[in-house]
Every structure is written in structure tokens, then in C-alpha cells.
Structure 1
Amino acid sequence: MKLNKGSLFALFAVLELAGNADRQLSTTDIAEKYGISTHHLAKVMRNLVHSGLVQAVRGVGGGYRFAGNIRRTTLLDVIELFEKLESELDMPNHGKPAGEPIVAELRSITEEIDDLTKAILDTITLETALKSTRLRREAAAVGK
């Protein structure tokens, strides 16, 4: 599965902010850390604020802070704010009906894969993803 930039940028931002809910970061802080477009991230942040996952803090030293529930918000919750995950097998027709058995079977398989992917993303909370991140960091530090 390939996520669009909006979904990916949203995951970066939400996980970064949820990692320490007491701090606030600007779009520039997040964009520079992940090497992404500040302009595009600003659009993503507006959607995250509108969804209630992120809160905008105005004024000097303003920025964004996480406002959601780290234990209940899943990766799928964030991704679905920016795209609809559904199977779409784009098969050339070449004059053959779309009901052709091979096409129907391939569509069925891709739908099942997408359903499994969505089910997995829906079980991974932000808390779980952040714990895994910490474990990877610790393992990398030990390996040095």
C-alpha cells in the first residue's frame, strides 16, 4: 500500500506531537525534522486541527500540540482523514466484460488484502507505534 503525501505527513506530525503531549511544535519544526514541505504540512495541520487530533496554539511560541487520545487513536484513524482506503483494480478491459472470472478473482484478492491492511492499521494505536519507535531507538543505541 502506498500512502499519499497528506497521510504520510499527518502520521509524522501526529506521532511527533503525541510523543510528548506537553510540548508544542511549529510546522517548520516538524517539516525540518522529516525533510518535508512546510507549505504542504501546513495544509495537513489545518485538517488535523479540524478533526480535533491537534490543537493550534496562537501567539509567541505558538505551534501545535496533540489533542487526541493516544490510547484510542489508530493509524487508520489518521490515514482516513486524508484518503479513502479501498481496492481498485484498474484492469484494461480490451473489449472483455468486467465480469470476466480472472478479473473478478483478482479484484476479490486485492479487496481482501486491503481489508487485512485496514484491519491491521486499525489495531495499531499511536501509543503502540510510539512504544515500537522507542524500542527501535534503544536497540539502535545498543548496537552502536
Structure 2
Amino acid sequence: MRLQKSTMCGLYAVLELAANPDRQVSAGDIADKYDISLNHLAKVLRTLVRARLIESVRGPGGGYRFAGNPKRVTLLDIIALFEDTGLDLQEAASDEHEESRALHKVLRDIDEIAMTTLRSVSITSLLKVIDTERRKTERGPNGASARQSSAGRA
């Protein structure tokens, strides 16, 4: 599945804000971390604010913060804001050949599986996967953490 740049920006922003729910994060900080155009990110953030997934905090130290429930917000909730997630059933219905109808049925089934999967992955679940992957990269090849490895060399 290939996602548009806006979708990826939206996912990055939501993940960044949901990972730090007690603090506001500036659009500039998010743009810098993920190497995103600040102007493009601002449009994406407005969409997320309108969807009430994040909220804007004005004033000194302002920025954005996650406003949803990370256990209930799913990848599909975010992707659907930026992508057309509807199944193209009209095209399949007009096909006259058995092969074409069979192919469209299989492709619809794949789309439905993808939608079900995206609907089942919450922000909390994805943050856990990110944390697990981060811990794996912090460990050295022998399973020791980077701190333990450097302490053993001293």
C-alpha cells in the first residue's frame, strides 16, 4: 500500500503527539524531526484539528497536543482523512468477463482485509511496536544495551 505524503505526515504528527500526551509539540519540531515541509505539515495539522484528533494550543510554549483516545483511534481513522478508502465496487459490477469479475472479487477481498487490518491497529498498539523496535536497536548484537556495552569497555 502506498500512502500519499499528506497521509504520512498525518501519521507522523499523530504518533509524535500521542507519544507525548502531556506536552505541546510545535509544528516546527515535528517538521524538523520528520524532515517535512512546515507549510505542508500546517495543512495536515489543520485537517487533524478539524477531525478533533489533535488540538492547537496558542500562546508561549504553545503547539499541538493529541486530543483523541489512543486506544480507540486507529490507523484507518487517520488514513481516511487523507486517502480515498472506499472500495471501487462500481467498476467491478460493469465487467462482462468472468476473468475480470474474478479478479475484481479477489482485489475487493484484499482491500477489505487491508481495511480490517488498518481498523484493528490502534495508536497505542503502534506506539508499543515503535517502542519495542527502539529497544531492539538500542541493544547490541549480544543483547546488551548500548550503555552496558560501553560500561563494560571502561
> How does the TM-score come out when normalised to structure 2?
0.83
Letter in 2 for 1:128: S
Separation in structure 1 between the aligned mates of residue 69 and residue 136 of structure 2, nearest angstrom: 27
Separation in structure 2 between the aligned mates of residue 86 and residue 143 of structure 1, nearest angstrom: 44
Separation in structure 2 between the aligned mates of residue 42 and residue 98 of structure 1, nearest angstrom: 42
Give the aligned partner of residue 85 of structure 2.
85
> How does the TM-score come out when normalised to structure 1?
0.89
Separation in structure 1 between the aligned mates of residue 103 and residue 85 of structure 2, nearest angstrom: 17
Give the aligned partner of residue 133 of structure 1.
130
Task: Report the secondary structure of 1:70's partner residue.
Answer: coil
Separation in structure 1 between the aligned mates of residue 71 and residue 104 of structure 2, nearest angstrom: 34
Show the 5 A alignment for 1:116-127: 116-127=113-124
Match of 1:104 among 88, 101, 104: 101
Give the aligned partner of residue 29 of structure 1.
29
Structure 1 residue runs of 4 or more that deviate by more than 2 Å after TM superposition: 86-89
**Structure with the largest fraction of helix:** 2
Give the aligned partner of residue 143 of structure 1.
140
Letter in 1 for 2:34: Y
Give the aligned partner of residue 63 of structure 1.
63
Separation in structure 2 between the aligned mates of residue 102 and residue 29 of structure 1, nearest angstrom: 51
Letter in 2 for 1:135: T
Give the aligned partner of residue 15 of structure 1.
15
CA contact (8 A) 1:87 1:110 kept: no
Give the aligned partner of residue 45 of structure 1.
45
Unmatched runs of 5 consecutive residues or more in structure 1: 92-96
Q: What is the Cα-based RMSD across aligned positions, in Å?
A: 1.7
Deviations 1:24-81 (A, max 9, x none): 1111111111111111110010010011110001112211000000111111111111
1-10 or 46-55: bigger deviation: 1-10
Letter in 2 for 1:36: I
Separation in structure 1 between the aligned mates of residue 109 and residue 14 of structure 2, nearest angstrom: 28
CA contact (8 A) 1:74 1:121 kept: yes
Deviations 1:74-102 (A, max 9, x none): 1111111112213459x9xxxxx732222
Q: Which has the higher contact order (CA 8 A, sep 6+)?
A: 1
CA contact (8 A) 1:75 1:126 kept: yes
